[in-house]
Amino acid sequence: MGSFDLISSFEVEYAPVNVKKWKSNRTGLEVCLIAKESPSVSGWFALATEIFDDSGCPHTLEHLIFMGSKRYPYKGLLDILGNLAFSTTNAWTATDQTVYTLMTAGWEGFKMILPAYLDHILHPTLTDEACYTEVYHIDGKGREKGVVYSEMQGIQFEPSFVALLEKQRTLYTKSAYRSETGGLVENLRTLTSDEIRQFHKEHYRPDNLCLIITGMVDENELLDILEKFDAEITPLPETPNKRPFVDSVQDDPLSSSITKTVYFGDEDESKGDLTLTFYGPNGVDLLECLAVETLSKYLTDSSVSLFRQAFVEVENPLATHVSTYNDDYIKTTINIDFSNISIEDIDEMPKKITKVLADHETELDITRIRDVVDQSKWDLIYEAENDDDTFVTSVIYQFIYGDKSSNDLPGYLKDLKDYEILMTWEPAKWRSLYTKYFVSNPSLFIIAKPSKELYRSNRKAGKQLLKDRKAKLGVEGLKKLATKLEIAIERNNTPIPDEILESFGYPDVAKIKFIQTQSIAAGKNHDVANDVSLSVTRKVENDTPDGFPLYLHFENIKSNFVTVDLLCSSFEVHEKLLNYIHVFAGLFTLPLEQDGKLIPYSEVVKDVQRDTISATVSTSFDNNFQEFVDFKIVARSENYGKVIDWYTKLLFHTKFTQDRVKVAVEKALNNLPSKKRSGYSMLNTLMNKHIRTQRSLARAQRTYLVEAFLKDLLKKIDDDFDTVARNLEQFRQQLIKQNNIRVLVVADVARLEHPVASWETFAANLKFMSEPLTDLPYTAKVLTDVGKLERCGNCYIISTPGSSASYMDLMAKIPLDANARESAKILLAAEVLQCVEGPFWRGIRGSGLAYGANVYRIVEWGTVIYDIYRGVDVEKCFEVGKEIVESYVSEVQKISDKALHGAMSSVVNSLVNGQTNYVSAAYRKFFDQVLMKRGPDYNQTLVKSLSQVTSQDVVDVLKKYFLPMFDPKSSVCFVCCSPSKVESIEKFFNSKGYATSVEYVAADDGEESYESDEDEDGDEDEDDYSDTEDDGDDSDEREDETDSGSD
């Protein structure tokens, strides 16, 4: 008889998912298995972490757990095991929880790592040396460092952080919800190792730990592993432990409405943000929480919502975006964010918002509320089918706040009864709930304003702190600190004995199964050879009318939904019209001409939402091929005919009216200040400016680059709208042509009525064209000489005061037509460098030089890029990156078999993680087979090629493609930095042989950006607040600014 008792078991009624939960009667450890078909197995290991101060203990442990355990006292062991076992590890810290994650390509790798991971969580080493390097220290130059410190230093003065902290302080006067669990920098400076160890002792207990695992798992093996682990850990005490948050003091509700103003540093003082917060229901009242969430979406979720109609979708909009989210604590809170509000208007916004809410009390649109309920239900079903983590958030909430017996767990996951109940609510009940939470309920408004004075004073104060610190420490004191840091790093980096790693073994790559889909061609599609032995193929062919004029591509999958993409090459649109994409992307939110009448856009959007899950327009296909315009609609399978009908209406019969066009342009311009504050966004803009020609849609969609055009367009809308409308119609006619449309349908084709013939009405709206299908819009066709790397040696620098971290991309050339074997070599070489605990990780991230250092390739235009994300010292990142690559090329550093296997494992895991559901697998197959022309089985071919790559192959590739990234004769460099760093960065790259050019992002008031001087000894301000959140900087995807839809 084992120690784990089954305490809950049920089938989810709206998805092929089985849920089981066990609890150890010996230790209280809980495990929830969410069994579903998936090629990956994922784990979330959650703890309730309650703290009543801003010391940052919860956040420090999120990092320190990975520094070794009592059984495995070696830094990076978990990450290295992950590299070897097709896995990735990560963690996050929130206000009430710390969660550790393990994502693995298959059960075999997951079970290999699980016991060691749990040992790290419950039995970490927490050495003084680890705390010193990871949390806070002062280096030999007197600068404050530490992974956690640098992370919090980077966000503590951002507008969202400043506003959130003020909200927490105001709402929560007694509970731990008021604490900044990440740690404020002033508290991290004084935090001790003993305090961290004590927090771990109090909170990292088996009875405060819940393991949530999703995927295809051998249940018996899982329980055997957990039984063995459970037998070795501390049993439950005789007196039950205090339950975090649940057994603690609770906050009082607000007695009256409050408005507060906070400030963040920025040179551009034109736009600010506002957050409106209400207390909501108790979190365990699931029905009322769902009802309130429905009303929040009703207020914000689309262009026809109350707040967007009042403040966004109007001439001279007061905000560019409105969104909502909940804080799901014991008592929930409802938060509504208003973005990019003019400073002249922002102080009056609380009154205006309050009035809109009050005036609407008797005007609730019950039909639309029910539409929101229904759409939310189908959104959940769609997510359950496509996302492994759909249920995880609810399981974690139930673990922290729900019944400890877990008797209430089915209520969070099992069925859709709450949605059905809400559909029966009478108008009076909805009005009563609306009044209770949005009218009578005291509110909290937090206004966040930019301050030029604060921006400058923060920088000056940081400089003074550094000077004072150096003066206090003196030369000898700094030397001692440098020595102390060196000793700590050396002790942290104790090599892991080979026999320990070898004792874990290696999972078999052959056991990893990719999701399979079936491709079917129809009409003008000659990219696929149909397999007529399949009944679904015969159904498509039998349903294809003679002479059918469209290109149709089906990917047959298991699904209750249909996803339809219409891909159109922007190369058919005249270059002078491309900038109109900022308006054209709103095609799905325009009025509709039908039967001689003009249907208002608000009614169109409502109708689209009733029939679909989502409808969007974007300037890429799945974040690739950014010269495409992609019209995409997702709907229930039975609505396939309605999807095609909507495409007919939206693409051919919508009307560009003066008011809607003006709103689109004003929103684009009003979004600019927030874009300019993002260093990563400005780096992408800088690259697009120089690597793409004026013929490029991807270049045109960067708002910053077409700001003058948009401002001029705003004037023309008033003075000469007929010309504007004519240009937009030309854009439509040139783009949407019979031979310029590729239709991709991803669905269970057997469930589609007339999969091909249903398109005849749509096709009838297109002029017949005898010309062949247009060529694919490869980015390589619109690259400048710089983008083609035919003109190298330039370093382009853009400086923006809104981002104090630095970003850098170094570009070099790789073959456009790389076969699978050459691709495998390049992928493995990149992964050898950038894998967790690999040379870039240790040499750059581990040294505090940048949050991210990666190498990735962009296959579509033959480029390899060395990317520095949120850097502190990009000059040093350049030097260290070059030294690392050179050390492998010269074979001073050898590439071990273990490193090679780990790199292969990481690549395979990335492939699997990119195709965890049928839709993503279908998209990848279309990308490989049709767009990249590399065959339907490219994944399998690539994996086979990976196993054949030798260490010498990697060395050869590093020399051939990667080392040239650091040579001005074969590379181009792009940097975004704060004004104070321009001079030193420019000087550095000049010394390396690059020809530098600098441009400054000015504030909207036209005033020149403020540039502070460097310290007299050349050191940078250590309070140069760098950002920290990772947004997947190792991908080959660039931002898309113009996505739009009926959302």
Residue-wise pLDDT for 102-133, tens only, equals 999 889 999 999 999 999 999 999 999 999 99
Residue 215 has which token pair? 């995927």
Neighbours of 595 (CB within 10 A): 5
Residue 452 falls inside a structural domain: no
CA–CA gap between residue 658 and residue 483 (Å, rounded): 68
Closest CA to 618 of 570, 675, 683, 684: 570
540 and 688 in a single domain? The answer is yes
Cβ within 8 Å of residue 426, ≥6 positions away: none
Q: Does residue 792 carry a pLDDT above 90?
A: yes
Q: Are residues 235 and 324 in the same domain?
A: no
Domain co-membership, 634 together with 543: yes
Q: Which of 830, 832, 796, 788 is nearest to 812 (CA)?
A: 788
pLDDT (0 to 100) of residue 4: 97
- What is the CB neighbour count within 10 angstroms for residue 212? 25
pLDDT at site 1003 = 58
Cβ-contact 100, 45 below 8 angstroms? yes
CB 571, CB 735: distance < 8 Å:
no
Q: What is the mean pLDDT of residues 166-188?
A: 97
List of residues 6+ apart from 372 with CB closer than 8 A? 294, 297, 298, 301
**Is the distance from CB of 572 to CB of 737 less than 8 angstroms?**
yes
> What is the number of domains present in the chain?
4
115-124, 175-184, 386-395, 1027-1036: least confident range: 1027-1036
Q: What is the three-class DSSP state of 214? A: strand
Asked if 145 and 848 count as a contact pair (C-beta separation under 8 A), the reply is yes
497 in the same domain as 361: no
> C-alpha distances in angstroms, 618 versus 419, 568, 590, 669, 1038?
31, 11, 16, 18, 13
11 and 88 together in one domain: yes
User: Half-sphere exposure of residue 281, counting CA atoms within 13 Å on the CB side?
Assistant: 17
Pair (633, 730) in one structural domain: yes
Q: What is the pLDDT of residue 673?
A: 85
What is d(CA 222, CA 894) in angstroms, rounded to the nearest whole number? 38
The C-alpha atoms of residue 148 and residue 168 are separated, in whole angstroms, by 21
Q: State residue 818's pLDDT score.
A: 66
| pLDDT at residue 1007, as a whole number | 35
In order of 682, 850, 945, the CA distances from 1012 in angstroms are 20, 22, 52
Note the pLDDT of residue 1020.
31
Write the CA distances from 578 to 569, 730, 737, integer angstroms: 12, 11, 16
| Domain membership flag for residue 801 | yes
Q: One-letter amino acid identity for 616? A: T
Residue 562 has pLDDT above 70, yes or no: yes
Q: Note whether 803 and 882 are same-domain residues.
A: yes
Residue 1043's pLDDT is 43
Share of the chain above pLDDT 90, in %: 77
Q: Which of 686, 526, 604, 548 is nearest to 1039 (CA)?
A: 686
The answer to whether residues 332 and 281 belong to one domain is: yes
Interacting residues of 600 by C-beta distance below 8 A, sequence separation 6+: 591
- Which residues, 6+ apart, have CB-to-CB distance to 440 below 8 Å? none
Cα(319)–Cα(744) distance, integer angstroms: 36
Q: Are 197 and 126 in contact (CB under 8 A)?
A: yes
Structure confidence by residue, pLDDT tens digits, 452-506: 999 888 878 878 888 899 999 999 999 999 999 999 999 998 999 989 998 998 8
Q: Is the pLDDT of residue 1033 over 50?
A: no
What percentage of residues in the chain have a pLDDT greater than 70? 96
Give 7-45 as a DSSP string.
Answer: EEEEEETTTTEEEEEEEETTT--EEEEEE---S-EEEEE
Let me know: does 227 contact 19? Beta carbons within 8 Å. Answer: no
Mean pLDDT value across the chain:
91
Q: Is residue 399 part of a domain?
A: no
d(CA 915, CA 923): 9
CB 968 within 8 A of CB 811: no
* Higher per-residue confidence, 743 vs 860: 743
Host domain of residue 31:
4-247+474-502
Q: How many other C-beta atoms are found inside a 10 Å radius of the C-beta of residue 360?
A: 18
Tell whether 1018 is covered by a domain: no
Same-domain pairing of 265 and 184? no
Same domain? 920 vs 968: yes
Average pLDDT over residues 979-1001: 94
Whether residues 211 and 270 share a domain: the answer is no
Give the closest residue to 492 by CA, choosing from 837, 102, 152, 190.
Answer: 837
Residue 241 to residues 179, 235, 236, 407, 711: CA-CA distances in angstroms? 22, 12, 8, 20, 62
For residues 852 and 377, the model is more confident at 377
d(CA 223, CA 707): 60
- Select the more confidently predicted residue: 125 or 315: 125
Predicted local distance difference test score (pLDDT) of residue 1013: 29
The crossing angle, in degrees rounded to 10, of helices 938-946 and 897-913 is 170
Asked if residues 106 and 39 have their Cβ atoms less than 8 Å apart, the reply is: yes
Q: Could you tell me which residue, 20 or 804, shows the higher pLDDT?
A: 20
What's the pLDDT tens digit per position in 808-848? 999 999 988 767 788 899 999 999 999 888 899 889 987 77
Which pLDDT tens digit goes with each residue over 26-68? 999 999 999 998 889 999 999 999 999 999 999 999 999 999 9
Q: What is the CATH number of the domain that holds 582?
A: 3.30.830.10
- 1042 pLDDT more than 80: no
597 falls within a domain: yes
Rounded average pLDDT over 364-378: 97
Cα-Cα-Cα-Cα dihedral sign, residues 958, 962, 966, 970: positive
Q: What's the Rg (C-alpha) of the chain?
A: 29
- What is the rounded distance in angstroms from the CA atom of residue 632 to the CA atom of residue 563? 7
Tell me whether residue 349 is in a domain.
Answer: yes
Residue 725 tokens, joined: 């409308």
Q: Give backbone dihedrals phi and psi of 518, rounded to 5 degrees, phi first.
A: -110, 130
pLDDT of 1014 above 60: no
Q: What stretches of 269-402 adopt beta strand conformation (E)? A: 271-282, 321-327, 331-342
Q: Is residue 342 part of a domain?
A: yes
Give the contacts of 624 (CB within 8 A, at least 6 positions apart).
860, 927, 931, 1036, 1037
Q: Is residue 771 included in any domain, yes or no?
A: no
Query: What is the per-residue pLDDT for 837?
Result: 83
Q: Give residue-wise pLDDT tens across range 269-283.
A: 999 999 999 999 999
Tell me the two tokens of residue 289: 């929480």
Q: What is the pLDDT of residues 606-647, one digit of tens each?
A: 999 999 999 999 999 998 999 999 999 999 999 999 999 999
Here the tokens at position 850 are 């940048």
Mean pLDDT over 664-669 rounds to: 92
Q: Are residues 714 and 569 in the same domain?
A: yes
3-state secondary structure of 904: helix
Could you say which DSSP state residue 260 is in?
Answer: E
Closest CA to 185 of 161, 156, 160: 156
